[in-house]
Chains A and B, each alone.
Chain A
Amino acid sequence: MAGILEFSPEDRDNAFITTCSTAPFTDGALAGTAVAVKDNISTAGIQTTCGSKILEGYVPPYDAYVVELLRQAGAAIVGKTNMDEFGMGTTTETSAFGPTKNPVDPERVPGGSSGGSAAAVAAGLVPMALGTDTGGSIRCPAAFCGIVGLKPTYGRVSRYGLIAYANSLEQIGPMARTVEDVSRLMSVIARYDPRDSTMLDRPYDHRPSADIKGLRIGIPEEYFGEGVDPRVGETVRDAIGALEGLGAETVPVSIPGMRHALAAYYVICTSEASSNLARFDGVRYGPAVDIRKSWHEAYQDLRQEMFGTEVRRRIMLGTFALSAGYAGRYYAKAQVARRNIREDFKRAFCDADVIAGPTMPTVAFRLGEKTDPLSMYLSDILTVPANLAGIPSISVPCGKVDGLPVGLQIMGRQFEDERVVDAAFAYEQEVRA
């Protein structure tokens, strides 16, 4: 049943940067399904901007591997979704193409950086979308918009074609309204790709099961402590209670390394970003540089003009963290902190099969509310540990506070994406029933 899907949505929330009015599709598991793709994933023939002016008009000559897989599975790629510039943000407000609004409450941010994908799904424009998660960029907008989002185990989905922000942390992952759809999309994209050397050959072929009898759920105290809105904490505890009602048991665990998680995360991601984004210099991307200037001056001026404030801030932070004389104090120390967190999780997963807590410490912010970058960084505290440890983590809607969605986050051991999907599925089936 190959064909062409016509797509002309009323995009009230500015979820898309680019839409394809006619999207061809072929036969396959997702035949004819409209799928939105975050705009940092390369799509042959479709502009891919990363939400940045510097890539406006850039049309990749090749498909990311996940896009190739989507096409093979028959999906119709209907557009590219809005995002924080190069993924750098928690609200989708740093996009050069304007902020995306939260379909649940247009006064609120959808979360970020995959805010466009989350909003497109939540607004019903598409049934499923691809996001990317470097420090929570799938789970945060999923939680804020009341949908489901999975950050897969690092190395389970090919990054080939994903325009890098922080290579050692990020993964492409599925977003949808139901756990079942998230799982379906995951089955399509989690296929081994030898071009991504950080992958392992562990394809995902799973149908979610709601049977979680005997599942040991670890409850880390750090996920319910300072900075977490007590009402959000309570909503999540209720959700965990529902899982206990299904036969799961809870055990207290601890991730003491969490106190350095944010610092380590921001040093690592900005360091990698400072290197990844250096190629956007006006020679091949962005408007041509002024050739009357010396070339390094021309690069500098163009980058100053074309990158947004947050991107420039992170490039400078990362450049500093890697500089001679400082790399030992910052980059090297961040790697130690990262190892500690990984060890913490390994230890916790001896006592628990999955670990649960809130996805975000609060509900969605108001548009323009987070003016201070540090307070925005702080809101990533519950999502970055999974990226530092490379473990799978899912966010599933678990109720509302002040009429705004709250996400239950479930993390699992490396390559046990199936288990976190099952736990989320069990919860979803229970509350839906």
Chain B
Amino acid sequence: MNVIVCLKQVPGTTDVKVNPQTNTLIRQGVENVINPFDTYALEEGVRTKERYGEGKVTAMSMGPLQAEAVMREAISLGADEAVLLSDKAFAGADTWATAYTLAQAINKIGQHDIIICGRQTIDGDTGQVGPELAEILEIPFVAYVSQIEEIADGRIRVQRMVEEGHEVIESSLPAVITVVKEINVPRLPSLRGITRSKSAPVAIWSAREIGVDESRVGLAGSFTKVIKVFFPQRVSQSEVFQGEMESQVDCLIDRLKDTGLT
């Protein structure tokens, strides 16, 4: 059972600032973590391998070089290998360009049975990369998986969460699934895992190494562009009434009437 788990490095806080010039996140001074939803994907990948014995779990991410830290964390949490796709050409990619880049790298790896992603990231929140990946690879896709029931004879049977309850879906392999947090409780790293992760190699692949069409990656390959990111302005005004208490109350009532509240 060869599993590929796609991870994203995200800021480990909800208090992020946006650079008004470039409309991108200011990542300096913010601790980066594995996207929380992806930790469930990684755990499920490792459990699947443990359950069916042979094979390996490869953690994959596209991101800047500092994402190597979360790739090492993935190794400490049970991934056998880690591949980081990093190249200036990948910068500014939207979900489609990201999915294309990941798909090229997955094709380079070759043999794989399941590709697992988290349901969405906590920074972009689109939930699009998983399904787009399946589309580009031309393989089946199941979203919101809450349980892998069985994998046998080149097929997988899963439960997926839908609003009214659960659906049981069977698919041929290879396939892409995205998982919800109900699927497992991710393990904590082990001391040996941490030691191993410090010295384990993290493969860093550039655009050339995965043979991408440069017009389809990064900002150039993106169909969508972020024009502006902004925080809604909070406007608050205050007014102080002065004078006798009675006239203050009258002023207040008049003002409230003006606003249409009374």
Does B associate with A?
no
Chain A positions within 8 Å of B, measured between CB atoms, are none
